[in-house]
Amino acid sequence: MGSLCLRSGAGRCTGRRDRGAAAVEFAILLPLVFLIIAGIVDFGRAFFTQIELTNAAREGARVAVIPNSPVSSIQTRASSAASGVPGLTVPGPVVCSTSTTPPNATVAVQAPFSWLLLQPALNMINAGSALPTNLSATAVMRCGG
């Protein structure tokens, strides 16, 4: 008796032995594909947050270079510029410091960031702490000019 080998057009033998191969390959590759998609989603969110923080710092610095601007208006302007970022803080902006030449106004903003998909996946291999939990941005503008 001959073997149960049915030849396909490419000369490959398809039969009983190949039936579960696709399922095994799928089971091996599915976690890797999920991890790649999770990384794309989470890094996209992180980049969005970083861009929002950069814009918020810039808007705060624009108010900080105005003479006699109160700190509360700087913080309000920076917070309203990044309304899509929860937990945004503006820790003590420097308003037109004369200690530097030329005098500059510096505004820093920061916000906590939670990795929804990537950190739990990396925690399985004890690497979740490698991801940053706080994002920040700083803007410096020259006073009076």
Of the candidates 90, 78, 82, the one whose C-alpha atom is nearest the C-alpha of residue 51 is 82
Percent over 90 (pLDDT), the chain:
33
Q: Where residue 101 falls among pLDDT bands split at 50, 70, 90?
A: low
Residue 13: per-residue pLDDT: 61
Calculate mean pLDDT across residues 135-139: 94
Q: pTM score, two decimals?
A: 0.76
Residue 139, helix vs strand vs coil: strand
Average pLDDT, the chain: 83
Following DSSP, what letter does each residue of 26-77 receive, concatenated? HHHHHHHHHHHHHHHHHHHHHHHHHHHHHHHHHHHHHHHTSTT--HHHHHHH
